[in-house]
Amino acid sequence: MKKYTLLLAMCIAIGFYGCKKDIGSVSSGELVGKWHQTKLNLHETIGSTVVHDTTFMEDSFTSADFYQFSAGKTATISKSGNFGFGGKIIVLNADVLFDWVTNYTYSVADSTVSFKVTDVPAQFAINSNGEPYNESQDIVLLDANNLVLRYTYTNMAPGPNAVTPTLVTTRYFTRAR
């Protein structure tokens, strides 16, 4: 009987150590470097109903799709186009070039990275709620070579009786060599 008890205890211990742990607290130093985007998932729901679910794979991205974090807590986010449920849109318009490369300051608290835009003209730095266009993304995965960030947009529909969709963007990156 002792053998079975010991075996059961060992199995339970292995189960605890084998389970994937939460990301926990992340330091900004772990983010420092250039991260190339390799995948993007856009997932929209209204209540529990999935409205859209679109994934862009590695061939949708170019060398212009990256997040770069510096040790001085500044970040550059670059993209080669706008990604939406209808596909990737590339529009070259000199008036909106800031949309392709944007500079930020960033901070990290627990497993969230917060971005504050630093170079977008003031008239474009306000979202539809009249607030600064800053955002925070949850770090889902961070290791030596991989970074996964997730952001949940809510309250995208104006008005008190509007149906409120939720959009979750999940971005996948690999560290530049």
Give the pLDDT of residue 125: 55
Q: Residues 87-108: pLDDT tens digits?
A: 888 766 544 554 578 889 999 9
Mean pLDDT of 49-67: 94
Give the pLDDT of residue 132: 58
**Burial class of residue 88 (count of CB atoms within 10 Å of its CB; 0-12, 13-18, 19+):** middle
User: 113 pLDDT exceeds 70?
Assistant: yes
Q: Give the chain's radius of gyration (CA, Å).
A: 20
Can you tell me the distance from the alpha carbon of 37 to that of 15, in angstroms, rounded to the nearest whole number?
33
Give the pLDDT of residue 131: 59
User: 166 pLDDT exceeds 60?
Assistant: yes
Q: Provide the residue type at 154 as one letter.
A: T
84 vs 14, higher pLDDT:
84
Domain boundaries, the chain: 24-175
pLDDT band at 129 (very low <50, low <70, confident <90, very high): low
Can you tell me the distance from the alpha carbon of 96 to that of 104, in angstroms, rounded to the nearest whole number?
17
Query: 74 with 105: CB under 8 angstroms?
Result: yes
Query: Tokens in use for 132?
Result: 């600064």
Tokens 């809510």 found at: 154
- Which CATH number is associated with domain 24-175? 2.40.128.280
Q: How many CB atoms lie within 10 A of CB 45?
A: 14
The separation between CA 71 and the C-alpha centre of its own chain, rounded to angstroms, equals 19
C-alpha distances out from residue 161 to 102, 119, 157, 164, Å: 34, 35, 9, 9
